[in-house]
Structure 1
Amino acid sequence: MRRRVAAVDCGTNSIRLLIADIDPERTVLTDIAREMRIVRLGEGVDRTGRLSQAALGRTIGALREYAELIGQASPVAVRMVATSATRDAENAQEFTGRVKEVLGVAPEVVTGDEEARLSFTGATRELSGTPAPYLVTDIGGGSTEFVLGGPEGVSGARSVNIGCVRMTERHLHGDPPAHAEIAAATADIDSALDLVAVSIPAGEARTLVGLAGSVTTVGGIALGLQRYDSERIHHSRVPAARVHEIATALLGQTRAERAAIGVMHPGRVDVIGAGALVLDRIMIRFGFAEVLVSEHDILDGIAWSLVL
């Protein structure tokens, strides 16, 4: 029997809404509404340890729009998950209180491991005929999650702090970034991937599934799209050599040049170079020949969690 649910994912860079009808018996999720706003909730958190008032204002403003859409759709259940930036912030309670006032439910500030498991569910629930085990990697704004598993479930997970916003704020300051800045970001990413390798046998995976805006933007560029097309991007495959080529090009471009790319969301212009670099280093470190790009991620996993 189909159930209508609403899921909200609030990350470091964006806040997203999915209202969907889910049929658990047929394993089918049907979108009613899917929205995304770039709010940069985590702006400056790596440096200050706090959510800024400007970032809170942008996020709550977007959430008011979502609350109106949720009210119109009348779902049977609503769940909001907050991830990396909120975990790291000293004033997370202020954010939680303001969200509850607007949405009627408090956000769940999940651990990195739970974030990873939700991403895995969203990315793999509808996969069929794709060789397992899968390594699902979700490149967020503050952190990147890795989950290894297959149709039988998750066998390992690890979250590391190498998101696209965090890497940009730490290292990539030039326009375009200097070689030394890129080298520092690369070293930071590679050190985190060493931790992943110790935690889970990522090299055992037969399929790399890449999630979130950095990966889908790289997918759109690889397809040569003039505008963002989620249907064409979803489940496209990008060879490792093409990922490396795109990452290198993005890191060598000015902000204006990146902004002119047809598939580029304005809110990703500043951080896409770091996100593409993270994906490139993952593929090099674990020897993947290609990445399967998925438009279904933690947001879909949150929705599925309401019916499973």
Structure 2
Amino acid sequence: MIRAGSDILGDRSRVAGVTRVAAIDCGTNTIRLLVADLEGGQAREVVRTGLITRLGQGVDRTGELDADALTRTLSATREFAGIIESEGAQQVRFVATSATRDARNRDEFVLGVREALGVEPEVVSGVVEAGLSFTGAVSAVSRAHPGPYLVVDLGGGSTEVVLGTDAPEYAVSLDIGSVRLHERHLVSDPPTQAEIDAATVDVREALRRAEAEVPLHETATLVGVAGTITTTTAHALRLPGYQRERIDGAELPVGIAMAAAQDLLAATRRERAALPYLHPGRVDVIGAGALIWFEVIARVLAETTAAGSGIRHVVTSEHDILDGIALSLGASA
């Protein structure tokens, strides 16, 4: 668990003008919690933690949430409930995304969360997910980089692509993610060229659909969020471990970012497992996620170059949908 600022902040939840909130993002591969103090339209982190439970295990193939995956995820939810209570959060919002959207038996999951946490989980659409990711990412990067921002939230089951400056203007959710693409195509260790080619076809087709809805050529700053991208950034930086403070806000030349993605895709699972910044729960799927990120950068580079600008760097943010969920609680207060 990462705990940020608890000793310094003390019980700010009782200070006038400060609202302590808890945000939970339950995705295909991870479930994460942010407890934050909202003040003046900003979210000040108190606790940020997450667990890889792979709720979306097999959903692409079966259309249902796996029983063991449900057990793991509900156990994590109960653990988070204890943290939320101990930190004194006044409002809680639980958002479930791709895997839950796609599952026929999601009612079983919703009931389990309600019993564990005492709140109704929201199974949000891909467009809502994209908007929350945009809000969270731009809340951090807008001070240092110009808009319009193309925020790419690369998850386990889906990838959200959203463009805007002060607010989302165009958004699309694509059914490509690290877990989904891995289970469909990249089953060998390391993946064969035929598997990579088949996966690439899927990704490029999805990005063609994205272009029809989001004007990628208008991008001034490409921002990547979520575990695949933060891990790929750590790989590009050759960090001695997962150092969130160095990953957050990192600005990489496009060639360096793309080379790091290609390297992870080509690596064996043993080679990946030896990397000090790669969580064990991502070892099998990071190659698929890296392929998606490579193709996204390549497509945005091509579109912006054709428009006469051409992105030169990509920005990584540790602020994402979790921060967007937390900030939404302030907006609704």
TM-score, with structure 1 as normaliser? 0.97
**Structure 1 residue aligned with 2:11:** none
Which amino acid is the alignment partner of residue 320 of structure 2? D
Range with bigger deviation, 135-144 or 118-127: 118-127
**Structure 1 residue aligned with 2:155:** 140
Alignment of 1:185-224 (within 5 A): 185-224=199-238
Q: Which runs of 4+ in 1 moved over 6 A?
A: none
- Confirm whether residue 7 of structure 1 aligns to residue 30 of structure 2: no
How far apart in 2 are the matches of 1:71 and 1:266?
29
- The structural deviation recorded for 1:29 is 1.9
CA offsets 1:117-175 (integer angstroms, 9 cap, x no match): 00000001232141100000000000000110012x21100000111100100010100
- The structural deviation recorded for 1:243 is 2.1
RMSD of the alignment, in Å? 0.9
**Structure 2 residue aligned with 1:131:** 146
Range with bigger deviation, 249-258 or 141-150: 249-258
**Structure 2 residue aligned with 1:292:** 315
SS in 2 for 1:81: strand
- Confirm whether residue 228 of structure 1 aligns to residue 242 of structure 2: yes
- Confirm whether residue 302 of structure 1 aligns to residue 325 of structure 2: yes
- Confirm whether residue 116 of structure 1 aligns to residue 130 of structure 2: yes
- The structural deviation recorded for 1:38 is 0.2
CA offsets 1:11-67 (integer angstroms, 9 cap, x no match): 0000000001111x2x43221111110000000000000001000000011111100
Structure 1 unaligned blocks of 5 or more:
none
**Structure 2 residue aligned with 1:52:** 66
Identical pairs, percent? 52
Which amino acid is the alignment partner of residue 190 of structure 1? R
Alignment of 1:1-308 (within 5 A): 1-23=17-39, 25=40, 27-126=41-140, 127-151=142-166, 153-287=167-301, 288-308=311-331
| Aligned residues of 1:162 and 1:192 also touching (Cα < 8 A) | yes
How far apart in 2 are the matches of 1:220 and 1:129?
20
CA offsets 1:207-232 (integer angstroms, 9 cap, x no match): 00100000000111111101001111
- The structural deviation recorded for 1:289 is 2.6
How far apart in 1 are the matches of 2:321 and 2:271?
30
Aligned length: 305
How far apart in 1 are the matches of 2:162 and 2:186?
27
| Aligned residues of 2:233 and 2:260 also touching (Cα < 8 A) | no
| Aligned residues of 1:9 and 1:298 also touching (Cα < 8 A) | yes
Which amino acid is the alignment partner of residue 82 of structure 1? A
How far apart in 2 are the matches of 1:296 and 1:247?
21
**Structure 1 residue aligned with 2:12:** none
Which amino acid is the alignment partner of residue 295 of structure 1? E
| Aligned residues of 1:193 and 1:282 also touching (Cα < 8 A) | yes
| Aligned residues of 1:219 and 1:237 also touching (Cα < 8 A) | no
Structure 2 unaligned blocks of 5 or more:
1-16, 302-310
